Structures are given as C-alpha cells and as structure tokens.
Amino acid sequence: MAGWRGGRTGAMALASGRDRPRLAPLVLRQALPLLAVVLAAVLMRERFRAVDPGAVRDAVAQIAPVQWLCAAAATAVSFLALGRYDAVIHRYLRTGIPDRAARRSGMIAIALSQAAGFGLVTGALARWRMLPGLSLWQALRATASVTVWFLIAWSVVTAAMLVALRPEGPLGAPGVAAAAASVLLLAAAGAGLSLVSPQIRIKGRSLALPPLPALARLLVYATIDTSAAALALWFLLPEGAAPAPAEVAAAYAVALGAGLILATPGGLGPFDLALMTFLPATSPDGLLAAILAFRIVYFVCPALVA
C-alpha cells in the first residue's frame, strides 16, 4: 500500500540496496497519488451525481450487527495472513527475527501504514520500533521486500481468480482472461527460474530469489488475505442485493491493485472507481455505503488496535 500494505512507493529502489532516490522522482511519487485521486474524482463525477448522500447514510445505518461482526472476523483472518507474510520475508532476508515477533510487527505495521499513509516510512518505522534487534536499514529492506513480493503475489492471485471464477461483466471479457493467463504463465516461468537459478544478476549485482517453498507460502497467504478482505466487503453489501461472493472477490482483487499501483492512501479514489465499474449491478448508494463501512472495519479499527 505506499500508504497501502506497508509502502509500495520507492520499494524497488530500496530493495536494490544501493539506489538513492533523487529529488525529481520523490516529488513525482508524492504527486502521483494526488493526481490519481483527482483523476478518479473526475471519472466518478457522473456516478456521484446519481448518489444520494442521505441514502448512503441510511444504508450504512441499516447494516446489521451480524454483518459488522462477520466483516470483522474476515478482517482478522486477512491480517493474520498478512502477518505470516512478514515471517516468510524475515526468513528470506535472514534477519534472525523469530516468526511470532515478525508476524506481530507485520500486522501492526500494515495497520498503521494503511491508515497513516507514507507506507514505506510508517511501515519501516513501525517494524523498527517493534523489533529491537532490527536496524533501521533492515526494517526498510524488510518493508520494501514485503511490498515487492506482495505485488507479485497479488498479480498471480488476481490472475488466477479471473481465470478460475470467470466473472460476468467487464472482467469476463476475453482480453482480460488472455492477460490473466499470460500472468500465470509468466509466474510459472519465474517459479521455474527460482528452482533452476536461485540467484540472478541485475546490472552486475547478484539477487537471491526466495526458494520455491517460500514463494508457495507467499501465494497461499496472499490468497487467504485477498479472499478474506473481499469477503469482508461482501458481508457489508446490502442484504438481498449483493452480487455473488466470487464476483465480488474478482472485482475486489482488481480494485485492490488499482489502489496499490496508484499508491493513494487506502486506495482512495481508484479503489472506489474500480468497484463501481466492475460491480455495476449493485446500487451506487448501497455500494458506497459498503465501501465506507469496509474502510471503518478494515482500516480504522485495525489502526486503533495497533
């Protein structure tokens, strides 16, 4: 998340170990999320005209207690999976941090960075503060690695969802299925590369790839995390008018990517626009109410607990 999931922005530079960002790229990275929010607002203006703020407020008020509880339970499952993601990364980087401490610091770092934004900084500082045996540089490197490998795992999980679930609407278009299949083929090639050549050289530097069992665990945890988060959103949709869970899962996974790539805090703007585009059968009022409730359950509450 830069902002979301521990800091997407600048992660590749930090992961390389020696690159130092220049002023112009830093300014561009900070401006990109703001531009993304503005662009999303422009694209959504027509949809917002059909939204009744009073109806959205009433829809939030009509969410039943059992819906809130189920969404909270799904959120807890999602964060437990995210914490285990940190444990895999710490093993890969050989930081010497025990799995339990890595899981706890990972959940707290992600909860705080999602809410506060500037995820690479807030995520690294949280991990550094929670793990006394970790240097600031190691915390930055761990945060950057979590960021990069989560993006890779997300792309594979999302592609698998689109191929397996075959959702209706825009996400079910043949071109989308072909692109998803290409991602899966590329992922298979990457897995084979990690097995045949565990170390690759990029610009004269040697980069050790995670072993295949670690990659498999990352994919499993990413699948659990994404599916549980999508389920949390589904629980909060209007009763009797919610699409099938599989359709919501595919739309959520793509919307998550829009927020991750454009690096807006909590995916604000791109995430909402993607869900409104890929779940057109859901009423705008009910969908916006569910998104608002989802942000409370998935962002506000974990940050308060953290």
Please, which residues have CB within 8 angstroms of residue 44's CB and are 6 or more apart in sequence? 269, 272, 273, 276
Can you give the pLDDT at residue 51? 66
Residue 202 bridge partners (DSSP): 205
pLDDT at 19 over 80: no
- Reported confidence tier of residue 292, pLDDT bands at 50, 70, 90: very high
Question: What DSSP character marks residue 63?
Answer: S
Listed residue (38, 63, 41, 65) closest to 51, CA to CA: 41
What are residue 179's phi and psi, to 5 degrees? -65, -40
Give the percent of the chain with pLDDT over 70: 77
pLDDT of residue 11: 40
Q: Which stretch of 155-164, 206-215, 221-230 has the lowest confidence by average pLDDT?
A: 206-215
Question: How far apart, in whole angstroms, are the C-alpha atoms of residue 144 and residue 98?
Answer: 19
Which pLDDT score, from 0 to 100, does residue 276 have? 84
Mean per-residue pLDDT of the chain? 81
Q: Which residue has the tokens 């285990």?
A: 84
| List of residues 6+ apart from 22 with CB closer than 8 A | none
> What is the predicted pLDDT for the residue at 26?
42
Q: How large is the average pLDDT for residues 219-241?
A: 92
The region of weakest confidence among 74-88, 200-214, 221-235, 279-293 is: 200-214
pLDDT tens, position by position, 62-117 = 999 999 999 999 999 999 999 999 999 999 888 999 999 999 999 999 988 887 76
CB 129 within 8 A of CB 155: no
Whether the per-residue pLDDT at 219 is higher than 90: the answer is: yes
User: Rounded distance, CA 163 to CA 182, Å?
Assistant: 11
More confident position, 43 or 163:
163
Is the pTM for the entire model greater than 0.75? yes
- pLDDT greater at residue 25 or residue 53: 53
Question: What is the enclosing helix (H) or strand (E) of 66?
Answer: helix 65-93
pLDDT band at 36 (very low <50, low <70, confident <90, very high): very low
Alpha-helical regions (H) of 166-298: 174-196, 212-236, 245-262, 270-278, 284-295
Q: How confident is the model at residue 155 (pLDDT cuts 50, 70, 90)?
A: very high
Instruction: Pick from 29-43, 227-241, 262-276 the range whose average pLDDT is largest.
Output: 227-241
Q: Are 138 and 95 in contact (CB under 8 A)?
A: yes
For 137-148, the pLDDT digits (tens) are 999 999 999 988
Q: Is the pLDDT of residue 24 over 60?
A: no
